Amino acid sequence: MKNEFKFKAKVWIYPGPAAWHFVTLPKGISKEIKQIFGELARGWGSLPVTVTIEKASWNTSIFPDKKIGAYLLPIKSDIRKKEMILSGHTIYLKLIIKV
């Protein structure tokens, strides 16, 4: 069963006071993840993942956004600082589903 996905995505900021940074997974990859792992989702439809950007790896979760039909991935502030990632940057990621 495929559980590793590589893609590039643009970083964006959620409009709100917390200024969370996210990337939106490509719709095709999101659809594939939902088909394979959707029944194993946790609260809010989240799935646990390990993410690698450049030399940084961490454990987090992806969350479905039903309006756009794709998963969202939050990017931690310490990772953004370490890898010098800003809103608007396009980054390359490796995502491993951990269920």
Range of the domain at 46: 4-97
pTM for the model stands at 0.93
Residue holding tokens 């940074």?
A: 21
CATH number for the domain including 72?
2.40.30.100
Nearest residue to 48 via CA among 59, 37, 35: 59
What is the tens place of the pLDDT at every residue in 14-52? 988 888 999 999 999 999 999 999 999 999 999 999 999
What is the pLDDT, as a whole number, of residue 74?
A: 97
**Structural domain count of the chain:** 1
- Cα dihedral: 58, 23, 98, 78 (round 10): 10
State how far the Cα of 74 lies from the Cα of 14, in Å rounded to an integer.
10
State the pLDDT at residue 78.
94
| pLDDT recorded at residue 54 | 93
- Express each pLDDT in 45-90 by its tens digit: 999 999 999 999 999 999 999 999 999 999 999 999 999 999 999 9
CB 21 within 8 A of CB 89: no
